[in-house]
């Protein structure tokens, strides 16, 4: 009983699980609506409209409409291909391989996107059920598919259209947390002295940030895509954030490359059997960069003030960066990372 209650509570608040349930219910409603609209005249092909409606309920509004258009195009191309092939190749067993080959080749046209192979499948089904030579029957196929696709896209647009900006913000926040944690780990050891093992751990962690960058970039693209053609403008404004932007992710990606550069430089100067003497100034610089990254996640409007506090020391250390090659390169890399964050505030 407690397990059921926990699941119910999970569905009552915004979550991936609730979104799956909502989209499933919408697909069911779209199928029912499409069947109700087309059943009086659908005849033996009544499955086509609800089938197309379910396929049109995708994870974004724009995806529903573009998918509906592609689906209608592939069905039209498939039935036309089946009609032409059945006219030129009257023997059914001979028509099947011909329609499959031509359908797969036609489906390679980039305008059909990932749905191009449906031309061959549609043509194959039409040829095998004996409807390829009946123009009126083929027109019914196209009409039913079009009605179903439009019904599914309308349901997805008008009934709780999906918005994924929260997921984008959460992914970027997770990225900033990983970057800050890596920087603080480096700062702690750099202050007291570090070994080859420490540096190797930093390099592995910094390389792992690239995966977090890819996850955040995909989430931000997905979030922006879900806002396109979406009528829930108030909901979009509520969950939109400067963090859910491609520019922020691109700059954090360059910050991560700077962190990797610093970790590799520190690994190169570490002795295999002994630790390197601590560098409190460099450690402070790494911690301040971590502070700035965390401020970006918590309140982007405060980022400029946070960077102003530390900017003078960053510039001072950079001016003296030539004193020691490896340390100077680290300071320059951190300074470049700070510059990337400063650009976010402009």
Q: What is the pLDDT of residues 63-108, one digit of tens each?
A: 999 999 999 999 999 999 999 988 888 766 788 899 999 999 999 9
- Helices of type H across the chain: 2-12, 16-42, 48-56, 61-88, 92-106, 118-128, 135-158, 165-192, 196-227, 233-239, 246-269, 280-298, 303-319, 325-344
Q: Which of 253, 241, 243, 337 is nearest to 296 (CA)?
A: 243
Angle, CA 154 vertex, CA 151 and CA 160 arms, to 5° = 130
- pLDDT, tens digit, 9 for 90 and up, residues 201-229: 889 999 999 999 999 999 999 999 999 99
Structure token pair of residue 270: 């570490």
Is this prediction's pTM over 0.75?
A: yes
Question: Quick count: other Cβ atoms within 10 Å of Cβ 301?
Answer: 10
> In whole angstroms, what is the distance from residue 243 CA to residue 337 CA?
17
Structure token pair of residue 121: 């499948």
């Amino acid at each position: 009983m407690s397990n059921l209650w926990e699941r119910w509570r999970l569905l009552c608040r915004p979550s991936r699980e609730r979104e799956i349930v909502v989209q499933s219910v919408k697909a069911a409603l779209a199928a029912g609506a499409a069947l109700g609209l087309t059943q009086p005249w659908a005849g033996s092909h009544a499955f086509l409209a609800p089938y197309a409606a379910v396929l049109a309920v995708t994870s974004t509004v724009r995806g529903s409409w573009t998918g509906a258009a592609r689906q209608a195009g592939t069905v039209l191309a498939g039935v036309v291909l089946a009609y032409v092939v059945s006219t030129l190749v009257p023997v059914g067993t001979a028509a099947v391989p011909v329609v499959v080959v031509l359908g797969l080749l036609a489906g390679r046209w980039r305008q059909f996107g990932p749905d191009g192979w449906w031309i061959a499948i549609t043509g194959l089904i039409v040829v095998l059920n004996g409807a390829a030579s009946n123009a009126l029957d083929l027109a019914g196929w196209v009409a039913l598919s079009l009605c179903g696709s439009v019904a599914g896209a309308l349901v997805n647009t008008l009934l709780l259209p999906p918005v994924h900006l929260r997921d984008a913000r959460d992914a970027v926040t997770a990225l900033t947390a990983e970057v800050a944690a890596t920087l603080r780990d480096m700062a702690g050891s750099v202050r007291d002295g570090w070994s080859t093992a420490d540096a190797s751990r930093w390099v592995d962690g910094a390389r792992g940030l690239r995966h977090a960058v890819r996850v955040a970039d995909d989430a931000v693209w997905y979030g922006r895509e879900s806002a396109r053609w979406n009528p829930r403008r108030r909901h979009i404004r509520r969950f939109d954030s400067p963090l859910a932007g491609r520019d922020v992710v691109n700059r954090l990606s360059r910050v991560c490359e700077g962190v990797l550069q610093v970790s590799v430089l520190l690994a190169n100067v570490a002795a295999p059997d002994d630790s390197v003497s601590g560098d409190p100034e460099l450690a402070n610089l790494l911690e301040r960069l971590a502070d700035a990254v965390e401020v970006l996640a918590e309140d982007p409007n405060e980022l400029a003030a946070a960077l102003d506090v530390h900017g003078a020391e960053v510039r001072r250390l950079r001016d003296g960066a030539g004193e020691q090659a490896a340390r100077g390169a680290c300071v320059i890399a951190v300074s470049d990372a700070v510059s990337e964050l400063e650009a976010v505030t402009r």
